[in-house]
Amino acid sequence: MEALEDVYNKIKSIYTSYPSSEKNRVLKQRLITSLKFLDYAFESYGASRIAMSFNGGKDCLVLLLLCIYCLREKYGGSMAKQKLAEIPFVFVRPKDEFYEMDEFVQDCKNLYGLNIISISLPMKEAFTLFLADNPNIQAILIGIRRLDPHGLHRVAFEMTDKGWPKFMRVQPILDWTYSEVWDLLLETKTKYCILYDKGYTSLGGISDTSPNPALKNKDGSYSPAYLLPDASLERFGRNQTVPFERTNSRYLYESGPSSYAPSEVS
């Protein structure tokens, strides 16, 4: 597929060339670390036992690009396309999902040949159902970063918390910053959800998400998400009056580190 080869070549250009700027130097270092985690995941589980949590947001979009690159490096062109198509991309939809997000997930399905499985249930119930239908899946790729809710104390590989269906959470982009996520998407000219061009910086459902006030212009319009002047304001457009559990409905975490004992993680 032409789109997959295009992603591969653009990521490879950053990964293998001498950095022409500080931005590219940092991106290259992030790629080196994240791709090591992804490569280890595919070595450990194989593509047939891995899924990905995917809602079309900027972070999981970066993770998708890295996944495409890793598969292409590991299996070659035609086989990488086949392996990617075998991976379930689980789209857990809030009841009040933006239609723009639905459309963008469909665009990704068509562009990259993704196997999208859409489930309109709360996160825990959605993955319980998904794993009941796909008992071969042992690990799920998640595009969480440290500044996300529940992200601070995460590690790259950890089991789900007790009370959740048991699988390995693989979290390769934990240490990426908001700016670095946008640097990669812009550097690779990757298509992203149009909501980000309308001032949205963190996407939940319609009831808890608004354009970021930090991006509002004097004429009432909003600048695009990648121009956010302070990354600490990323979630400034999220409605804090909505219950915490609803606001963070896209996450597969309780409040702390994994609650399995070390002997239960193997």
Model pLDDT, residue 266: 24
CA angle at 150 for the pair 63 and 247, rounded to the nearest 5°: 90
Q: Phi first, then psi: what are they for 40, rounded to 5°? A: -65, -40
Asked if residue 166 belongs to a domain, the reply is yes
Give the strand order in the sheet containing 168-170.
Answer: 115-119, 88-92, 50-53, 139-141, 168-170, 157-159
What's the pTM value of the predicted model, to 2 decimals? 0.89
Asked if residue 23 belongs to a domain, the reply is yes
CATH number of the domain where residue 68 is located: 3.40.50.620
Asked if residue 72 belongs to a domain, the reply is yes
Tell me how far apart the alpha carbons of residues 8 and 1 are, in angstroms, rounded to a whole number. 11
Burial 162-177 (b: 16+ CB within 10 A, else e): eebbebbbbbbbbebe
- From the list 76, 179, 158, 90, the residue with the least C-alpha distance to 126 is 90
Model pLDDT, residue 154: 80
pLDDT in tens, the chain (266 residues): 599 999 999 999 999 988 888 888 999 999 999 999 999 999 999 999 999 999 999 999 999 999 999 999 999 888 999 999 999 999 998 888 999 999 999 999 999 999 999 999 988 899 999 999 999 999 999 998 887 766 567 888 999 888 889 999 999 999 999 999 999 999 999 999 999 999 999 988 898 899 999 999 999 999 999 999 999 999 888 865 444 443 344 455 554 444 333 333 32
Task: Match 């890793």 to its residue by tokens.
Answer: 70
DSSP SS3 for 128: helix
Asked if residue 256 belongs to a domain, the reply is no
DSSP SS3 for 56: coil
Q: How many structural domains are present in the chain?
A: 1
Model pLDDT, residue 149: 64
Radius of gyration of the chain (CA): 18
- Domain of residue 8: give its range: 2-176
Asked if residue 232 belongs to a domain, the reply is no
